[in-house]
Structure 1
């Protein structure tokens, strides 16, 4: 956890609740073309209260919106609105987020004109994601092992890989704004051979992805430098303007230039990828944007995504270690229903975990769920370059890394022990399993986040 002295002073932001206008249900439902199994009374709604039925309703609604069947879509939306209140149990809140995203999609694509008009006229569908102070974000990250798992596993692998180096260059590609770095600095400061010099490079990406930070990277860098100094570690902090949309091309260029300068020195190059690489466009986003202008040293081809190009460029830097941590799901399908099913069967997990430790009405719960709602909307309501939440499964990333000529390295017993100790601080539903060289965080037996470590083959 970041241990800066700072007083959080941000106002509370909530997800804006919405409701579908209630129809004269019995008459209008019978007059409209029937959807098989559609309940015609409030008693019938009770049978739709479990997660499987909610998922089926969402699928039927998505198909109706895609086929421009406004009557059927409105019927199903009425049911969903009645069985999935925004302040209900975890399944209801999850379904409410998907319901909202489907209405946004209808309004956005305009194929279902009745729903689009209804959404534009009656609803405020914006999500008020919170901009965190450093202290707030550190506390937010500490709430669950969702991020801490990756921090703990990655730090253990990095410390082992950089042993003996006098200079360590860390490239932090992280969605959590360097929240991992203080614990890594703490560990480095306690090395038997004394602390090395640390260079920290981050891409100056646009801050439009949750969780969002309320200060600039330059200000964050100043805090990190001061924190490192308090641990007797010399830290150089640098921001490289770069964007995930072009595969961090500017960052790769800068790293390549530095590599030419420092190749013969005892500088370790650590590439730390924490839930950021899935924002790089992949194969299902076609055609490849600006492929001809990307200054990588190999030719892009029709079947080569920016993710593939990025990983091959990393391999060309001959890094000391690459750590890749991400969510273990597949949200890349171009088919809306496939994507909806995958997201629904993965994103129930954060809603379920929240009920174990955050009370209704708490600020942190509202911030946490607003960020999940943002993810749901991006997966469901958007397409093309706007759909940036393109999470891939562990097996797919493993294959990508191998294709880029990296080889996996296992996590030692010390790393496993540290992860287990960290999990003991959280709810009993969290677990850890090893899959070959990799570590996987689980919730009630379901894969959540994976951690992998790689060396140049």
Structure 2
């Protein structure tokens, strides 16, 4: 591996060009006096080396060393074209996020000025129609794994109930619900009444974006359920992750006695949404007083802890928690960069197996990953919302909130395996105690857990 010290001195570095997200931009490394040609840059192209260069670049930007940062940026710009292989595209996205960070923070003023002068760094996030989003989600097990595992756990938990109230906190705008309705419709004892509650507008600023309101989405879901002879009642409660879904929790609390007495099943379905709740590294919150629904901040608990305790106070029939198995919570930029680089290579690696280069869907898919990378790297404080936690920490949170884990049955495992057979060979499934984990080439990707009140 080439040593960092082998990067040439600044007088041998040509003027810097910033990578753009323009799909028409075909990047070629250019030969410059005193620096190896693109052929000579080849030894830099190893993923570990790219990660090290990004780390050095982040440190240079944070320490306001514009000269060193510019040198590294030039090297990265030449070895990581936006239309390269999966590692190059991954590195290009991180490079872009570091430039955005420099421009935002005002540190490394020379870089900030260059970023502002040379290019538009915005990401073109696609807004999906319902049909587009449904087919987009079906392309990969990334979401389908959680849908399949969660639906199996929910169906088992609500067996025999004539009324099922589902609270769907999902990043994918209820895309799981039609498959759940299909399964519910074919129950031997006949379909129940289904009440569906969502947090309206919870992820307006987080991709994937949807091109219609939750009221319109609700109408479509009601019509779909009717076509399956299922009566569906839909309700969107304006509520957001920023305050721990406090208004949603309050509305559920008010209804708690009603549905408890009427024998409704209460299902809380959390699909890749809870990691947007603020956690301990953002700001300390208090121990919740004796009231389990209290959202009054005072000392050491995060909104995640408070939200889960409030859920426990609702005595749900089942809680399903599905999320990505990584840790993006560190307040140290380099730690976060390493964690994100060593997790987000997976979507770049997998996309080559199911979407051709240059396809619109691939542009949408990679723009969403770029958004995530930018949020993790370029933002701080309340703006940094991509705060993934690993499965082990969520398991501990759930236990601390008064839940006990339940195992996924053989039927659930069989259904997940059948679903994975429809996708590329690199996808796998493993069971860790009670939980299921989706893997790519042996690396943990997404976990699924199911919980009952202890």
Using the size of structure 1 for normalisation, the TM-score is 0.91
Offset of residue 207 of structure 1 = 1.2
Over residues 193-217 of structure 1, what are the superposed CA-to-partner deviations in whole Å (9 max), with x where a residue is unaligned?
Answer: 0000000000012511111100100
- Contact 2:27/2:83, CA 8 A, preserved across alignment: no
Task: Give distance in 2, aligned partners of 1:423 and 1:455.
Answer: 27
Offset of residue 22 of structure 1 = 9.0
**Alignment CA distance shift 1:361-1:237 (3 Å):** same
Aligned to 1:157: 153
Aligned to 1:33: none
Stretches of structure 2 lacking an aligned partner (at least 5 in a row): 1-19
Q: Secondary structure at the match of 1:101?
A: helix
2:53 pairs with 1:47: no
Aligned to 1:32: none
Match among 61, 64, 87 for residue 65 of structure 1: 61
Task: Give distance in 2, aligned partners of 1:275 and 1:181.
Answer: 15
- Contact 1:300/1:309, CA 8 A, preserved across alignment: no
Match among 341, 345, 360 for residue 348 of structure 1: 345
Aligned to 2:403: 406
Aligned to 1:34: none
Q: Secondary structure at the match of 1:264?
A: helix
Over residues 357-405 of structure 1, what are the superposed CA-to-partner deviations in whole Å (9 max), with x where a residue is unaligned?
Answer: 2111101000000000000000000000000000000000000000001
- Contact 1:16/1:127, CA 8 A, preserved across alignment: no
CA RMSD, Structure 1 to Structure 2 (Å): 2.1
Offset of residue 266 of structure 1 = 1.5
Task: Give distance in 1, aligned partners of 2:135 and 2:311.
Answer: 32
Task: Give distance in 2, aligned partners of 1:427 and 1:133.
Answer: 26
2:179 pairs with 1:183: yes
Aligned to 1:335: 332
Aligned to 1:35: none
- Higher relative CO (Cα under 8 Å, sequence separation at least 6) belongs to 1
Over residues 105-136 of structure 1, what are the superposed CA-to-partner deviations in whole Å (9 max), with x where a residue is unaligned?
Answer: 00000110000000000011000000000010
- Number of residue pairs matched? 431
Match among 58, 65, 78 for residue 82 of structure 1: 78
Aligned to 2:264: 267
Using the size of structure 2 for normalisation, the TM-score is 0.92
Match among 245, 251, 254 for residue 251 of structure 2: 254
Stretches of structure 1 lacking an aligned partner (at least 5 in a row): 1-13, 28-38
- Contact 2:163/2:195, CA 8 A, preserved across alignment: yes
Match among 169, 186, 192 for residue 188 of structure 2: 192
Match among 373, 378, 386 for residue 376 of structure 1: 373
Aligned to 1:135: 131
Match among 415, 439, 443 for residue 442 of structure 1: 439
Task: Give distance in 2, aligned partners of 1:86 and 1:105.
Answer: 19
Task: Give distance in 1, aligned partners of 2:370 and 2:447.
Answer: 22
Over residues 277-330 of structure 1, what are the superposed CA-to-partner deviations in whole Å (9 max), with x where a residue is unaligned?
Answer: 0000000002559x99x9933764422000000000000000000000000000
**Alignment CA distance shift 1:22-1:364 (3 Å):** closer
Match among 305, 309, 334 for residue 306 of structure 2: 309
Over residues 235-266 of structure 1, what are the superposed CA-to-partner deviations in whole Å (9 max), with x where a residue is unaligned?
Answer: 00000010100000000000001112222112
